[in-house]
Amino acid sequence: MKETNDTKAIAKTSGSKILRGNMRQYSMVMALVLLIVLFYFLTGGKLLKPLNITNLILQNGYILILAIGMLLVIITARIDLSVGSIVAFVGAIAAIMIVNMKIGVIPTILVCLVVGALIGAWQGFWTAYIKIPAFITTLSSMLIFRGLTIAVLDGRSIGPFPDSFRAISSSFVPDIVSEPIMLFGAQLNLTALIAGFLICLYIVFRDVNKRRAKSKYGFDTMAIWFFIIKQVIMCGATMAFFYLLAAYNGIPTLLIILIVLIVIYSFVTSKSVIGRRIYAVGGNESAARLSGINTKRLVFATNVNMGVLSAIAGIVFAARLNAGTPKAGTGFELDAIASCFIGGASVYGGTGTIMGAILGCFIMGVMNNGMSIIGVSIDYQQAIKGLVILLAVAVDMIAKDKEK
């Protein structure tokens, strides 16, 4: 009898441990869901209209691109304040080359990516090798490239772009059928529905394989009931998301770009050697250097990567604006940094995930979109976002203090 009670106690403790672990892991998901529910009622259902969901992706795609790059910088215990100015500068170069100089879209995009890499290398040199704090280096670059943007544009906007360039931010994946199908009284894009179904299959297949591997080697696994509920919720949310996309024009081309970047950087941060080294540098740079990691080269590489992703965001934003403008990218660094901290990145470095940055970005996006719909003025929106960043960092620091 005693052995049975002890076994039950162990099982209960193990189950509680796993549940608490999963609650921490999905706390950002829960926060996002609660935020969506709140603004759904505050906006009278407008937040989840198909058109608004598509706009949410198009309006926040470039912030998500910046957040992915910013996460790697923050993991190394640094920060980049220049990304908004780089977005504007790259957009200005694209406008001058395409509109004024009549250069093709593909060569222009390649030049913009090279420019972004060179800017990242410039910042990486001062930060990694001259040891100037990243805050100062990127603050300097923020001023330099904002000024250069105004100079090359002569203080005015240049546009419009040709349709082939605008398609980066405004086109949709063609449907596989000539006519939309009817479902639940709505015309739906079949390609979007199939994509959602395939992603659900991938999610279930991936998680089942992970669970089997953990069981095979004797690691703790979540309770089967919790595992099933997780799959149902994730697949239900995925299909609901793609249903809303299908009810408008289908899958935006920008979403394909985002998915590709997310897959690549998720692999780099979680599966690659360079990803583990980036975390090592952020966790303890001196120890990483003594263990044989070339910390200078790694910090330099994260800056170059940030420059390239800033260039991609600049291309996407210029395509959405349909012009290169001196004011482009203003405040983008705030949203990118906030996305990372809200998503669980640590101000001390060494902590953070791509999925966390994505969730943080969508939390910021839903906040911005919801507040705009209900009529909150831009000044109050900025104040609220500032408070959100402060609270996110405060939670991180309190957690660190408790660990000591």
Closest CA to 172 of 243, 245, 222, 225: 245
Q: Which range has the top average pLDDT, 111-115, 332-336, 343-347?
A: 111-115
Closest CA to 372 of 65, 54, 39: 39
The model's pLDDT over 173-199, given as tens digits with 9 standing for 90+, comes to 888 877 767 666 678 888 989 999 999
Structural domains of the chain ordered from first start: 31-171+252-398 (1.10.3470), 173-249 (no CATH)
pLDDT tens, position by position, 140-165: 999 999 999 999 998 899 989 999 99
- Tokens coding 294: 């070339």
pTM over 0.95: no
pLDDT of residue 184: 65
Token pair listed for 192: 């979007």
pLDDT of 112 strictly over 90? yes
CA distances from 277 to 181, 264, 268, 298, 309 (A): 49, 17, 11, 8, 20
* pLDDT at residue 46 in the model: 86
What's the confidence (pLDDT) of residue 165?
A: 92
Of 54-63, 86-95, 392-401, least confident by mean pLDDT is 392-401
Measured at the alpha carbon of residue 236, what is the angle toward residues 233 and 241, in degrees to the nearest 5? Answer: 125
Nearest of 196, 298, 190, 188 to residue 237 by alpha carbon: 196
**CA atoms of 124 and 137, how far apart (whole Å):** 9
- pLDDT of residue 63 exceeding 50: yes
Q: Rounded distance, CA 358 to CA 355, Å?
A: 5
Give the mean pLDDT of the chain: 85
Tokens of 46: 């407008």
Q: Is the pLDDT of residue 220 over 50?
A: yes
According to DSSP, the residues that pair with 181 across neighbouring strands are 188
pLDDT on residue 389: 76
